[in-house]
């Protein structure tokens, strides 16, 4: 957290709007965010409320072009609303999080930020009210830059990036992660990176867990908006101790527990354990070979998920059965390969 920017933001708000952002704006109960000046302004400050809403921790959001927070087709409207140098109130607009979730911010106040010398150095906004738009989201698996570009062009909301797909997917090299991020960022499509050191089972040694921890840091540094992982005990349960360590290494980026959940002795109980250990999302076929065959278990997982947690159905999902899978399970997010569009 940048205390100098926070002070400039709070002082400018007090001077121009006539209000108070509270004793601790960083941990306050309203979003506060600010971008700098220039032709393509980038974020210089985002409080915890904003980080949670956009699903981007400080290290991922600060330095990012602020236009990426809006869907591409709405950026002109956003730019027009932010073009003035005076206070604006009552602003509303649609935004998109790192994992593709849409929401509308309401009754936002926008104001110019000045430094101690009175020079305009940025523009800030604050709001309390927002509304989630619970439309369906589609995550597409990709293993090459060409597949990433193809998925984005066909309308993917999010990419899961891995290599060695025939073996169930393993960690992609850092260079591929950077390429994928470069291909998707302008479209506000996030890249979730598989963190799996090898094919085979999901029972990992201490050395492999250390390797996964390092991989998480490398992936996020390369621009990944989140990671996809999973670990089990030899008895077939979620390795909650290892998972909590890996979740902590992710340091605020979204974590998906992948289809290792379907290899657990009780997939529904494993999903609950993954959520309890801090995962944001579980990808599952309900313990069956495909999601259409596992709808009953997926439905049980979705109904038992804690508030805000997401169950995503995957395996065997196609455009022709997607609506039925959503209806039969109650999930809003689906995972598929490019064959979804075939």
Each residue's pLDDT tens digit, 80-139: 777 666 889 999 999 999 999 999 999 999 999 999 999 999 999 999 999 999 889 999
Token readout for 156 is: 């993917």
pLDDT of residue 342: 78
pLDDT of residue 131: 96
Task: Verify that 182 and 296 share a domain, yes or no.
Answer: yes
Q: What angle do CA 104, 224, 187 make, to 5 degrees?
A: 50
Range of the domain at 193: 137-341
DSSP three-state, residue 330: coil
Of 133, 160, 185, which residue sits at a domain end? 133
Does the pLDDT value for residue 327 go beyond 90? yes
Residues ≥6 apart with Cβ < 8 Å to 44: 2, 5, 34, 35, 36, 62, 122
DSSP annotation of 305 reads S
Torsion angle of C-alpha atoms 193, 176, 50, 73, degrees rounded to 10: -110
Task: Verify that 67 and 154 share a domain, yes or no.
Answer: no
Task: Verify that 62 and 153 share a domain, yes or no.
Answer: no
CA nearest neighbour of 335 among 134, 97, 136? 136
CA nearest neighbour of 281 among 224, 229, 216? 229
pLDDT of residue 126: 97
Separation between Cα atoms, residue 3 and residue 29, nearest integer Å:
18
Q: How many CB atoms sit inside 10 A of residue 320's CB?
A: 9
Q: How far is CA 76 from the centre of its chain?
A: 23
CA nearest neighbour of 192 among 149, 216, 160, 150? 160
Separation between Cα atoms, residue 40 and residue 236, nearest integer Å:
50
Q: Which pTM was predicted?
A: 0.92
Task: Verify that 31 and 113 share a domain, yes or no.
Answer: yes
DSSP three-state, residue 304: helix
Is residue 33 within 8 A of residue 127, CB to CB? The reply is no
Q: How many CB atoms sit inside 10 A of residue 16's CB?
A: 16
Token readout for 264 is: 């657990």
- CATH number assigned to the domain comprising residue 232: 3.20.20.380
- CATH number assigned to the domain comprising residue 33: 3.30.450.20
Task: Verify that 166 and 125 share a domain, yes or no.
Answer: no
Task: Verify that 176 and 300 share a domain, yes or no.
Answer: yes
Task: Verify that 180 and 111 share a domain, yes or no.
Answer: no
Is residue 113 within 8 A of residue 308, CB to CB? The reply is no
Of 118, 133, 148, which residue sits at a domain end? 133
Q: How many domains does the chain have?
A: 2
Separation between Cα atoms, residue 105 and residue 15, nearest integer Å:
24
Q: How many CB atoms sit inside 10 A of residue 119's CB?
A: 9
CA distances to 94, 99, 184 from 78, rounded to whole Å, are: 9, 20, 20
Each residue's pLDDT tens digit, 40-87: 999 999 999 999 999 999 999 999 999 999 999 888 887 777 766 688
Task: Verify that 181 and 114 share a domain, yes or no.
Answer: no
Token readout for 150 is: 């193809």
Strands (E) in the chain, as ranges, are 31-36, 43-46, 88-96, 102-114, 120-127, 129-133, 137-142, 158-161, 190-194, 226-229, 255-257, 281-284, 310-314, 333-336
Does the pLDDT value for residue 252 go beyond 90? no
Task: Verify that 216 and 80 share a domain, yes or no.
Answer: no
Task: Verify that 121 and 142 share a domain, yes or no.
Answer: no
Q: How many CA atoms does the CB half-sphere of 234 hold within 13 Å?
A: 1
Scored b (16 or more CB within 10 A) or e, 190-206 reads bbbbbbbbeeeebbbee
The continuous run of DSSP H or E covering 120 comes out as strand 120-127
DSSP three-state, residue 193: strand
Is residue 165 within 8 A of residue 141, CB to CB? The reply is yes
Of 133, 153, 174, which residue sits at a domain end? 133
DSSP annotation of 169 reads -
Task: Verify that 320 and 199 share a domain, yes or no.
Answer: yes
Does the pLDDT value for residue 266 go beyond 90? yes
Is residue 267 within 8 A of residue 292, CB to CB? The reply is no
Q: How many CA atoms does the CB half-sphere of 57 hold within 13 Å?
A: 15
Each residue's pLDDT tens digit, 183-228: 999 999 999 999 999 999 999 999 999 999 999 999 999 999 999 9
Task: Verify that 242 and 218 share a domain, yes or no.
Answer: yes
- Tracing tokens 């604006």 back to the chain, one arrives at 88
Share of the chain above pLDDT 70, in %: 99
DSSP annotation of 107 reads E
């Amino acid at each position: 957290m940048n205390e100098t920017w926070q002070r400039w933001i709070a002082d400018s708000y007090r001077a121009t709007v006539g209000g108070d952002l509270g004793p601790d704006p960083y941990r306050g109960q309203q979003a506060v965010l600010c971008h700098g000046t220039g032709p393509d302004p980038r974020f210089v400050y985002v409080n915890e409320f904003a980080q949670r809403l956009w699903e981007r921790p400080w290290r991922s959001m600060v330095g990012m072009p602020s236009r990426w927070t809006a869907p591409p087709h709405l950026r002109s409207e956003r730019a027009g609303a932010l073009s003035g140098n005076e206070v604006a109130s009552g602003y509303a607009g649609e935004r998109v999080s790192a994992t593709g979730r849409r929401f509308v911010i309401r009754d936002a106040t926008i104001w110019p930020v000045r430094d101690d010398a009175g020079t305009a150095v940025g523009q800030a906004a604050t709001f309390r009210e927002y509304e989630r738009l619970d439309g369906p989201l589609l995550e597409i698996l990709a293993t090459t830059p060409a597949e990433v570009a193809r998925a984005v062009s066909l309308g993917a909301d999010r990419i899961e990036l891995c290599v060695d797909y025939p073996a169930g997917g393993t960690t992609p090299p850092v260079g591929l992660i950077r390429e994928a991020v470069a291909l998707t960022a302008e479209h506000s499509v996030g890249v979730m990176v598989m963190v799996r050191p090898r094919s085979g089972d999901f029972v990992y040694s201490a050395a492999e867990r250390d390797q996964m921890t390092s991989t998480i840091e490398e992936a996020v540094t390369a621009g990944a908006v989140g990671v996809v992982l999973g670990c089990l005990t030899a008895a077939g349960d979620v390795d909650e101790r290892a998972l909590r360590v890996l979740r902590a290494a992710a340091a605020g980026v979204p974590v998906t527990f992948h289809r290792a959940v379907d290899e657990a002795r009780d997939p529904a109980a494993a999903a609950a354990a993954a959520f309890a250990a801090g995962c944001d999302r579980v990808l599952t076929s309900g313990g069956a070979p495909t999601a259409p065959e596992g709808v009953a278990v997926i439905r049980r997982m979705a109904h038992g998920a804690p508030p805000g947690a997401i169950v995503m159905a995957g395996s065997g999902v196609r455009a022709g059965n997607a609506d039925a899978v959503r209806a039969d399970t109650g999930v809003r997010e689906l995972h598929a390969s490019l064959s979804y569009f075939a």
